[in-house]
């Protein structure tokens, strides 16, 4: 143990460490890794989006607060474990939730509160742009948010000088550079796979439609993984570390979206491979050999961090409802005077799901905290439904909520299967896989494909971003080879293939889930705020 600590201390002192920071939907996390890609220290900050004036948003004050607190926690761990002040790292990377709308004036003033990916408020714009381009533009995408603001004749539009994502914003504050990684950029505006840049033809179509907007001037510059995206400025160093210990001049790699870091963290940037990141939202990513035969509104076409085409099935809702129910059980145990750790409650309840009936007792659940694009729900109403003869057992209750977390994803994946897309396997990534086998086996049954969970699965997107930072510092050119031959060469993993019985069970559930969507739709229409 002493030798390991001494080795890590040497890595820190000789600037052989890499820092990754990710702004997730419920947590901001900072991770420091060494040259062996193992985590050395970490820090985190819990936060939640808020619904204000009809928009899901986060305050930029909370962005800065979370950035600083997560980093300070990481630096404190370095000091405590290794007796060193963290003054310099080899490189830094920032990632965050993709899409959304962060608009700034020429003076750098934020023009409207941050509109996140979660907002289902751009349906008109997304539909018109999809028709204009002949290319699917989801409601989450930045260009849809911009065009909807134009259609709404919002007063701030003529003042827009810069439009970016959350990762692009934080990178800008740290480096002064208005750039973005290609994976994150592909969730702002369509990418030309040959030029590895925004599609010029689509830009011309948009600017012909809206002559007062120059997209080239307001969108960030697109960079690929491994490229130099600037250096930490003195102001950026003070922003990240107000104590003044961290030095300026550190290499910063292109900022990426959480989809990109999920692909990196699961070694899923190769053709026919994919991953599924599961959290507040869920997205399944599959690297394609060729484009799809037609436009599907349920499928995003984005890219890997090194610019390869990816089909993205994105569900706005996934584990939030499970977390809410577990919190209720946690309150119940506290009311009984029993002190049980939350992780243990999760584990107990998840394992109970393995005892469920084949038809999950006839129960239905929709964990829709917000609108859901795949099932065309404009708003969310978390809903649990049963009939008088349903079997309401704890096992069935937990199984139906876990199955429901993957319901929208399954409906989207059906399209890829119908397209004849070949999938050699998906890697699961996210907290739902912490309890061994349960979430993994239900997901495998849902998507009818083997699911692998790596030992590194709990590391998360911040770790994936640290890997991208290390890749930028390495001087290597091929991200796929770098991941396969260096990062994941000895990583332990478990693969579960779906059994015929499990697939039949999920097929019973998904048929009921699809049939009951009208109940959810009626809940949206009937249960209005304030009732």
Strands 162-164 and 102-104: antiparallel
Q: Name the DSSP letter for residue 356.
A: -
Predicted pLDDT at 135: 95
What is the C-alpha separation between 196 and 226, in angstroms, rounded?
Answer: 14
**How many Å apart are CA 456 and CA 478, to the nearest integer?**
21
How far is the C-alpha of 433 from the C-alpha of 73, rounded, in Å?
A: 25
pLDDT at residue number 118: 86
Query: How high is the pLDDT of residue 457?
Result: 60
The per-residue pLDDT string of the chain (531 residues; one tens digit each, 9 = 90 and over) reads 566 788 899 999 999 999 999 999 989 999 999 999 999 999 999 999 999 999 999 999 999 999 999 999 999 999 999 999 999 999 999 999 999 999 999 999 999 999 999 888 999 999 999 999 999 999 999 999 999 999 999 999 999 999 999 999 999 999 999 999 999 999 999 999 999 999 999 999 999 999 889 999 999 999 999 999 999 999 999 999 999 999 999 999 999 999 899 899 989 999 888 998 888 888 889 999 888 989 998 898 999 999 999 998 989 899 999 999 999 999 999 999 999 999 999 999 999 999 999 999 999 999 999 999 899 998 999 999 999 999 999 999 999 999 999 999 999 989 888 888 888 778 987 788 889 999 999 999 999 989 999 876 666 789 999 999 999 999 999 999 999 999 999 888 899 999 999 999 999 999 999 999 999 999 999 998 766
CB-CB contact of 179 with 220 (8 Å): yes
Share in percent of the chain as helix, strand, coil (round to 5): 40, 20, 40
Residue 145 to residue 138: CA distance in whole angstroms = 10
What pLDDT is recorded for position 109?
A: 98
Rounded distance between C-alpha atoms, residue 514 and residue 145, angstroms:
29
- Measured between alpha carbons, how far is 378 from 123 in angstroms, rounded to an integer? 9
* pLDDT the model gives residue 246: 98
Pairing mode, if any, of strands 50-52 and 299-303? Answer: unpaired
Asked if 494 and 282 count as a contact pair (C-beta separation under 8 A), the reply is no
Task: Look at strands 55-57 and 91-96 and give their pairing.
Answer: unpaired
In sequence order, which ranges of 359-453 are alpha helices (DSSP H)?
394-405, 407-418, 438-447
Beta bridge partners of 151: none
Q: How far apart are CA 203 and CA 183, in angstroms?
A: 18
Q: Please tell me the predicted confidence (pLDDT) of residue 458.
A: 60
H helices of 195-278, in order, are: 200-209, 215-218, 234-240, 258-265
Give ranges for CATH 3.30.420.40 in the chain: 2-315+457-487
| DSSP one-letter code for 247 | P
Closest to 458 measured CA to CA, from 91, 7, 34, 42:
42
Pick the CATH number of 2-315+457-487 from 3.40.50.150, 3.30.70.3460, 3.30.420.40, 3.30.160.40: 3.30.420.40
Question: Which residue spans within 156-234 are E strands per DSSP?
Answer: 162-164, 179-181, 191-192, 197-198, 221-223
- CA-wise closest residue to 280 among 316, 328, 324: 316
Tally of residues, the chain: 531
Bridging pattern class, strands 274-278 and 426-429? parallel
If phi over 0 gives left and psi between -120 and 50 gives alpha, with beta otherwise, what is residue 15? left
Cα–Cα distance for residue pair 355/500, rounded to 1 Å: 17
Give the residue ranges of DSSP H helices in 246-312: 258-265
What is the per-residue burial (b if ≥16 Cβ within 10 Å, else e) of 368-382? bbbbbbbbebebbbb
Identify which of 3, 32, 2 has the alpha carbon closest to the alpha carbon of residue 17: 32
Phi, psi of 330 (to 5 degrees): -65, -45
Measured in degrees and rounded to the nearest 5, phi and psi for residue 131 equal -70, -40
Beta strands per DSSP E along 27-156:
27-33, 39-46, 50-52, 55-57, 91-96, 102-104
Nearest to 434 by CA among 354, 343, 319: 343
Residue 1: predicted pLDDT: 59
List b or e across 48-64, with b for residues whose CB sees 16 or more CB atoms inside 10 angstroms. Answer: ebeeeeebbbbebebbe
Q: Which pLDDT does position 6 carry in this prediction? A: 87
**Radius of gyration of the chain from its Cα atoms, rounded to whole angstroms:** 23
Distances (CA, A) of 121 to 151, 246, 373, 447, 518: 12, 41, 11, 29, 21
Q: What pLDDT sits at residue 422?
A: 81
Half-sphere exposure at residue 108, Cβ-oriented, CA atoms within 13 angstroms: 8
**C-alpha closest to that of 302 among 334, 253, 258:** 258
Residue 312 · residue 285 · CB < 8 Å:
yes
User: What is the C-alpha separation between 342 and 340, in angstroms, rounded?
Assistant: 6
């Amino acid at each position: 143990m002493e030798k390991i600590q001494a080795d890590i201390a040497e890595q820190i002192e000789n600037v052989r460490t890499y820092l990754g920071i990710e702004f997730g939907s419920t947590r901001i996390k900072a991770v420091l890794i060494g040259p062996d890609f193992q985590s050395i220290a970490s820090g985190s900050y819990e936060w939640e989006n808020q619904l204000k004036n009809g928009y899901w948003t986060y305050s930029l004050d909370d962005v800065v607060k979370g950035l600083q607190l997560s980093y300070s926690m990481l630096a404190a761990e370095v000091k405590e474990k290794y007796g060193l002040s963290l003054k310099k790292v080899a490189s830094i990377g920032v990632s965050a939730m993709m899409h959304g709308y962060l608009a700034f004036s020429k003076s750098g003033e934020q023009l409207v509160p941050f509109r996140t990916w979660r907002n289902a408020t751009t349906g008109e714009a997304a539909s018109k742009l999809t028709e204009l381009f002949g290319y699917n533009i989801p409601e989450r995408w930045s260009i849809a948010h911009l065009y909807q603001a134009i259609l709404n004749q919002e007063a701030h539009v003529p003042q827009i000088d810069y439009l970016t994502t959350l990762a692009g914003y934080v990178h800008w504050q740290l480096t002064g550079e208005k750039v973005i990684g290609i994976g994150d950029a592909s969730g702002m505006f369509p990418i030309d796979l040959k030029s590895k840049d925004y599609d010029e033809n689509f830009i011309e179509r948009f600017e012909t439609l809206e002559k007062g907007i120059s997209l080239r001037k307001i969108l960030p510059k697109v960079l690929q993984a491994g490229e130099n995206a600037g250096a930490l400025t003195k102001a950026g160093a003070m922003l990240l570390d107000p104590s003044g210990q961290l030095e300026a001049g550190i290499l910063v790699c292109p900022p990426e979206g959480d989809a990109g870091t999920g692909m990196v963290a699961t070694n899923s940037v190769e053709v026919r491979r994919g991953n599924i990141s599961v959290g507040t939202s869920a997205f399944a990513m599959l690297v394609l050999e060729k484009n799809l035969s037609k436009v599907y509104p349920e499928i995003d076409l984005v890219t890997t961090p090194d610019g390869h085409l990816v089909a993205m099935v994105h569900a706005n809702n996934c584990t939030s409802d499970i977390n809410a129910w577990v919190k209720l059980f946690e309150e119940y145990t506290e009311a009984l005077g029993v002190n049980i750790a939350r992780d243990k409650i999760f584990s107990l309840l998840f394992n109970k799901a393995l005892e469920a009936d084949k038809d999950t007792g006839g129960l239905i659940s929709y964990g829709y905290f917000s609108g859901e694009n795949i099932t065309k729900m404009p708003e969310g109403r978390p809903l649990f439904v049963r009939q008088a003869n349903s079997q309401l057992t704890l096992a069935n209750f937990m199984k139906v909520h876990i199955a429901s977390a993957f319901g929208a994803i399954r409906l989207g994946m059906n399209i890829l299967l119908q397209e004849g897309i070949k999938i050699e396997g998906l890697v699961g990534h996210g907290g739902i896989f912490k309890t061994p086998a349960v979430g993994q086996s239900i997901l495998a049954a849902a998507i009818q494909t083997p699911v692998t969970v790596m030992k590194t699965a709990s590391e998360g997107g911040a770790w994936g971003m640290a890997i991208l930072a290390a890749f930028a510092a390495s001087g290597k050119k091929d991200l796929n080879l770098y991941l396969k031959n260096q990062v994941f060469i000895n990583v332990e993993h478990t693969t579960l293939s779906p059994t015929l019985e499990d697939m039949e069970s999920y097929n019973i559930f998904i048929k009921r889930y699809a049939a009951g969507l009208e109940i959810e739709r009626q809940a949206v229409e009937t249960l209005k705020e304030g009732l």
